[in-house]
Structure 1
Amino acid sequence: MRAFLGLPLPLLVNLVGSLLGFAATVTLIPAFRGHFIAARLCGRDLNKRGQELIPESQGVISGAVFLILLFCFIPVPFLNCFVEEQCKAFPHHEFVALIGALLAICCMIFLGFADDVLNLRWRHKLLLPTAASLPLLMVYFTNFGNTTIVVPKPFRPILGLHLDLGILYYVYMGLLAVFCTNAINILAGINGLEAGQSLVISASIIVFNLVELEGDCRDDHVFSLYFMIPFFFTTLGLLYHNW
């Protein structure tokens, strides 16, 4: 399905939904301000004058908007399969990958909010993200199962062009989930730093995906954009209130 500017129709639907998600995030954060303060999920802005209480844990609102957007978006990439004549075979592997990614993201958002409420210890913060990444790792194992990596040029004379990591590949991906979550979370306390860093990272990934749309791995980059575009705009709405 081709649409405006040569982009696939699902991406344009995703973009429109993301803009609505931005507006929803900007609107809902002040709307729920009183609820968070009443639940004592609040603090004082040490970077500004005055002692007014401000709500904390607002990432759960942008996270909820993000999930709702993508839950509604689930059928859009598969619209062709609602018309028998246009559907050769339902892409079950893409559908499972989409659902698996959403499940892992949902678990991460839940763990982030639980940390704010329960003040989890560091040993929990190290173990729980690994467990939350298991659905995604299982989807990758069943759909692809490729554990071979391209060796960096300085090490190719020793290890060769490719190296099969085997089970260590999945160990690495689980540890990467721990790093990604805590690398952002550890910056909490400085206005706009967490949301700002996430915004810069997502913007760079979006630019890379768009540049690579004409390459050999087009479908992979389109799949990445399904998540990155809503994440960018919902995070932008969070950053608007996070200065």
Structure 2
Amino acid sequence: MKSKHTEYYKHNKKICFRENIPERYLFAFLAIYFLIVLYVLKNTPYKSIIIFYIITCLLLFKVSFICLPKFIQFLNEKGLCGLDLNKISKDKVAEPIGLFPSILYFIFVLFYQLLYYNDHKILLEYNAGLLSIIFMTFLGFIDDILELKWRYKVILPFFGINGLEIGQSLIISFFISIHNLIEIILNIGRESGDSELILKQHFLSIIFTLPFISINLATFSFNFYPSRGFVGNTLTYFCGIFLAVVSIFGHYSKTLILFLIPQFLNFFLSLPQLFNFIPCPRHRLPTINTKTNKLSYSYNFTLINLILYLCGPLSEYHLVILLLSFQFVTCSMGLFLRYFIDTT
């Protein structure tokens, strides 16, 4: 599978919308992940459904890769851009590109509610979850346009993803799907009524998670350093409410907390600024050294600044890798605690 990129000219300046991570690598990773899901579900009543569902999710991934460069170009042409504040050049970057994957996800999940047309109880939960995701994503879009104050954002989305955005959201969603698959394996073949209910709950969670991973894996390729487009608060809110909804579907809200250690840490670090005990700017970013092109901590209370304080100045690329690695390690620890530590 060959990756293509889009270029256009504006005021004699060439702008490239090439993905930062090659499509073929992400597609191979996604295909392996889906094969694992299919293998786990092969002995369940959902085998025939999941095969068709996986095929359409792979198509979603491809559609996202084709359409995102065009959407980024559209945002640039309309002047919907933000400044890349962590760069010396302060280039303008399209924002919010998170609107496209969010809308694509809504359309896909809305269509697949037909799977539950004869189960009114699950259909009610399905639509309630979808409406919650739509409402909170709309709030994120309003925030991108109107720039809501921090005190309003604390009340409405609770804690969301706290600006750590799409890379960490993908890692959390992968661990969520692993948890779902483990629970399905543990309950396959059991004859109790509870086991059948557990299978339904975790399958519903998977139904919402697979397209999320497919679409946002493609988006991550364009948002990864150096970003071709900012996802904005639109996708940040979308990811936050998505995680809440799927955990409610699968009845594993406590398990989700184990995957959100960096987010809780960032939230509690931010409390003095969120409640205005300390001045809270719109963008609580680190400072950039124009000579070394490295980021240093600023006096804003965030996880990013804490890591820079502990580790010293880092390039933006290495800071992103460090944050994602920290998320992966904490999620791995959370999964270990969930299944290998006896809490009874």
**TM-score for the superposition, normalised by structure 1:** 0.65
Q: 1:51: how far off?
A: 5.7
- When residues 123 and 39 of structure 1 are mapped into structure 2, their CA distance, relative to the original with a 3 A threshold, is farther
Deviations 1:91-115 (A, max 9, x none): 2111101111110011111111111
Secondary structure at 2:156's aligned position in 1? Answer: helix
Cα distance change on mapping 1:52 and 1:123 into 2, 3 Å? closer
Residue 68 (str. 1) matches residue 107 (str. 2): yes
> Are 1:225 and 2:206 an aligned pair?
yes
**Aligned: 1:186 with 2:163:** yes
Show the 5 A alignment for 1:136-155. none
Identity of aligned residues (%): 32
Single out whichever of 21-30 and 66-75 deviates more from structure 2.
Answer: 21-30
Distance 1:107 1:208, change over 3 A: same
* 8 A contact 1:17–1:69 mirrored in 2: no
Q: Select the residue among 113, 116, 119 that pairs with 1:91.
A: 119
Task: Give, in angstroms, the shift of residue 241 of structure 1.
Answer: 0.3
Give the corresponding residue for 1:209. Answer: 180
TM-score by length of 2: 0.47
More helix by share: 1
Query: Which moved further from structure 2: 231-240 or 6-15?
Result: 6-15
1:223/1:23 CA distance change after superposition, 3 Å: same
The residue number in structure 2 matching 1:174 is: none
Paired with 2:151 and 2:54, the residues of 1 have a C-alpha distance of 38
Residue matched to 1:5: 42
**Letter of the structure 1 residue corresponding to residue 216 of structure 2:** T
* 1:26 alignment counterpart: 65
Change (3 A) 1:124 1:49: closer
1:119 aligns with 2:147: yes
The Cα shift of 1:15 comes to 1.9
Distance in 2 between the 1:228 and 1:75 partners? Answer: 17
Structure with the larger RCO, 1 or 2 (CA within 8 Å, 6+ apart): 1
Report the alpha carbon displacement of residue 10 of structure 1 after superposing the two structures with TM: 2.7
Q: Which residue of 2 aligns with 1:151?
A: none
* Alpha carbons 2:116, 2:122 under 8 Å: kept: no
- Give me the CA root mean square deviation: 2.3
Q: Give the letter aligned to residue 163 of structure 2.
A: I
Contact 1:11 1:222 in 2 (8 A): no
Distance in 1 of aligned mates of 2:59 and 2:89:
33
1:37 maps to a residue whose letter is N
Q: 1:198 matched to which residue of 2?
A: 169
Superposition deviation, residue 49 in structure 1: 7.1
The 1:26/1:98 distance shift into structure 2, 3 A limit, reads same
1:106-158 deviation per Cα after TM superposition (whole angstroms, max 9, x unaligned) = 111111111111111112212333xxxxxxxxxxxxxxxxxxxxxxxxxxxxx
Tell me if the contact between 1:10 and 1:77 (Cα under 8 Å) persists in the aligned partners. no
Assess if the C-alpha contact under 8 Å between 1:66 and 1:230 holds in 2: yes
Amino acid aligned to 2:222: H
